[in-house]
Amino acid sequence: MSVVPAESTAASRRQLLDSPFLAALAGKRPSRRPVWFMRQAGRSLPEYRALRAGRDMLETCLDPELVCEITLQPVRRHSVDAAILFSDIVVPLKTSGVGVVIKPGVGPVIDAPVRTRADIDALPSPSPEGLEPVGEAVGSLIAELGQTPLIGFAGAPFTLASYLVEGGPSKHHATTKALMAAEPETFAALLEKLADFTISFLKVQLAAGVDAVQVFDSWVGALTLADYRRHVLPHTQRVFAEISEFGVPGIHFGVNTGHLLGAMAESGARVIGADWRTPLTEAAKAVGPGFGLQGNLDPALLLAPRPALEAETRRVLAEADAALALGASGHVFNLGHGVLPETDPGALTAVVDLVHNQPVGE
């Protein structure tokens, strides 16, 4: 597959006029309340565990047939209003030659952590050619999904930087924050370079036809607002600016970002995801009128008995209605972060049914 220029695909991009998910993103009234789940594809599904058994995570992400099948599994099972491409935020690093593996039960682990100017200069440039299997998978999925939209995604520069600097998953992101404070120019050079990876990964998916994109800055909530504005936001703004030519709606999400939501709304994304700690009404006030909101059921509630889960789902829907009354342009029901592996998939299906059966808010 060759990487198709944006102009030709923008014209030929499919129009899913009846999609509740795309209507909500566009600030139009959806025919029903749209719902999907972060990490809807994954270990909560026995059919996923069966397919992944004995297979390496990143190799799976580069096998178009497996990517298609895994992406479709939750759509078939739960009737969610959107599919999200099965991949990972470190895939564009891997395909460009960065030494990274995804360790089962751990997450991405980097061979040689990146901590100095010389380490940054030694990073490869993004190679869209290595991402051809991802573009191929997107193309097949568009054909298979019919009227269900496909969400593409990438990791935002800060969250990618955290993995590279720390060398793997981290609780406090201390080495990353120390580098940011001690050597702001070095840190800026790293984020500049990682933004190129984010952009390249998104462009491959957009050129192949994804209907929306979500940029995950999962760990950016570890920063103060001042540090976010100074060291992170300009790079995220460049990401959204460089993909704007595709005319595809963008969602931006991070965990623990209650204090950052107003600034995240300056990123160029029109829809902001909130984690479960921030009520959607507070999120609506923080981002200001005219932005869509996504979220924000606590994923832990999926492990609770059904009556408690249903009560919390209804509470989130009521918060969403109040957020719409405050000027939010739309609401997409989701979790406040990813599905936990131990989740009973029946609980997810029950939430979808409940959300779909509630009348659409104003």
Q: List residues near ligand 1CP by CB under 6 A.
A: 38-43, 52, 57, 84, 86, 88-89, 102, 104, 107-108, 153, 159, 169, 216, 218, 338
Point out the catalytic residue in the list 32, 52, 230, 277: 52
Point out the catalytic residue in the list 33, 48, 77, 88: 88
Residue 93 Cβ, how far from ligand 1CP at the closest point, in Å?
11
Judged on CB neighbours under 10 Å (0-12, 13-18, 19+), 278 is buried
Residue 80 Cβ, how far from ligand 1CP at the closest point, in Å?
10
Residue 349 Cβ, how far from ligand 1CP at the closest point, in Å?
15
Residue 120 Cβ, how far from ligand 1CP at the closest point, in Å?
21
In one letter, which amino acid is 221? G
Residue 163 Cβ, how far from ligand 1CP at the closest point, in Å?
7
**CA-to-CA distance for 114 and 168, rounded, in angstroms?**
11
Residues whose CB falls within 8 Å of the CB of residue 318, separated by 6 or more in sequence, listed in order: none
Count CA atoms closer than 13 A to 263's CA, side-chain side: 22
| Residue 84 or 164 having the CB closest to ligand 1CP | 84
Assigned token pair, 308: 């408690």
Assigned token pair, 238: 């460049």
Judged on CB neighbours under 10 Å (0-12, 13-18, 19+), 351 is buried
Assigned token pair, 240: 């959204």
325 membership: H or E segment, kind and range: helix 306-325
Count CA atoms closer than 13 A to 355's CA, side-chain side: 34
> Active site includes 48?
no
Residue 108 Cβ, how far from ligand 1CP at the closest point, in Å?
5
**CA-to-CA distance for 343 and 351, rounded, in angstroms?**
12
> Active site includes 52?
yes
Point out the catalytic residue in the list 33, 77, 81, 163: 163
| Residue 27 or 258 having the CB closest to ligand 1CP | 258
| Residue 37 or 324 having the CB closest to ligand 1CP | 37
Point out the catalytic residue in the list 13, 32, 43, 229: 43
| Residue 11 or 50 having the CB closest to ligand 1CP | 50
Residue 118 Cβ, how far from ligand 1CP at the closest point, in Å?
26
| Residue 23 or 45 having the CB closest to ligand 1CP | 45
Whether 162 and 34 have beta carbons less than 8 Å apart is answered as no
Point out the catalytic residue in the list 13, 39, 229, 277: 39
| Residue 13 or 43 having the CB closest to ligand 1CP | 43
Residue of minimal Cβ distance to ligand 1CP: 107
> Active site includes 217?
no
**CA-to-CA distance for 126 and 129, rounded, in angstroms?**
9
Other C-beta atoms within 10 Å of 122: how many? 10
| Residue 67 or 355 having the CB closest to ligand 1CP | 67
Radius of gyration of the chain (CA): 19
Residue recorded with tokens 């891997």: 94
Judged on CB neighbours under 10 Å (0-12, 13-18, 19+), 118 is exposed
Residues with catalytic function: 39, 43, 52, 88, 163
